[in-house]
Amino acid sequence: MTAAEVLAAHAPAANLAPELSAWDGELAGKLLMAPMAGVSDAAYRLMARAGGAALAYSEMVSCAGLHYGEKSWELVDPDPAEPDIAVQLFGSKPELFRESAERVAARLGEKLALIDINMACPVPKVTKKGEGSALLEKPALAANIVRACREGAPGVPVTVKIRRGRYMGQEVAPEFARAMEDAGAAAVAVHGRFATQMYHGEADWGAVSRVADAVSVPVIASGDVLSHDAALRALSETGASAVMVARGTYGNPWVFSGHEPSAAEKVAAFECHVRLLEATGAHLKRARSLAGWYFKGMPDAARWRNAAMSCVTAEEFLSVAAEVRAHVL
């Protein structure tokens, strides 16, 4: 089955949309699925869009990877069932960003909703190369990267994702965001932690508010948006135009609509997601993590999670789902 056929056949049982709507280009009031390394593949994006996400992002894609090899393009290419996609790029060289933006725009055409530049990733193997959140210390270079992307893909919105700052107590986000706006960024996503915090502690949505006050372009709130209610609070409390949901999507594509799924719908969603992994050619071992997320909170959840850890084929994962249905529902 194709991914579109999987959605048509199996999404309704999970209270998810069997057909997907294209992004209308507006951010106001929208909930977006964040880029997540090792998570946001085509199947994951399709589940999020079926759950109500206005737009879904690729994993962050290395500009150097696109330049030197073909494998990175697997992270960029949308499935035919996806109406559109936001592609997030990372790197540190404006010339590679220009080339990548040009090639991504040419390859995706009308399916490319926007190009996002990662200036937020705190992982040392990224920052030691001057990429991700390391760019927060080099606003002039970051601005040149924004300009390079705009030159490479004229007419495609270019956005940036940033953090409060790189080091604890050194918030640079408002003035940095102004520099990105001056360079032509169409929107700024703000994660309310410092890079050195990684994902520890609490995100400070006040940082989002301060950026929203500092720029005139739309601001996207990010960080600790773990539920639909939290997303609505972020919109109302920060002055952000939109909200980006990351970990809140784990096993919960309904986070975008606010629907409270039943156990039966969770099992059906897991089955749909497994079938989408197969239809999109993804590595089926990803379903091991999905099992833990979808079955969380169910009776004997550890049992089902452990059973999934030995699965390899789609049929084996679906057999675990059948066991859950027989014992839990």
Residue 248: the pLDDT is 97
The whole-angstrom separation of Cα 191 and Cα 222 is 4
CB 50 within 8 A of CB 11: yes
- Quickly tell me which residue has 């962050």 as its tokens: 60
Written as six digits, the tokens of 302 are 């550890």
Total-model pTM: 0.96
DSSP label of 167:
S
CB 35 within 8 A of CB 48: no
CB 277 within 8 A of CB 287: yes
Written as six digits, the tokens of 324 are 């859950």
Residue 69: the pLDDT is 84
Tell me phi and psi for residue 129, to 5 degrees.
-95, 5
- Cα distances (angstroms) measured from residue 158 to each of 3, 180, 198, 275, 302: 28, 10, 25, 33, 43
| Model confidence pLDDT, tens digit, residues 197-224 | 988 888 999 999 999 999 999 999 999 9
Classified as helix, coil or strand, 222 is: strand
178 Cα distance to chain centroid: 24
Write out the catalytic residue numbers: 121
Which parts of the chain have pLDDT scores under 70? none
What is the CATH code of the structural domain delimited by 17-256? 3.20.20.70
Residue 122: the pLDDT is 95
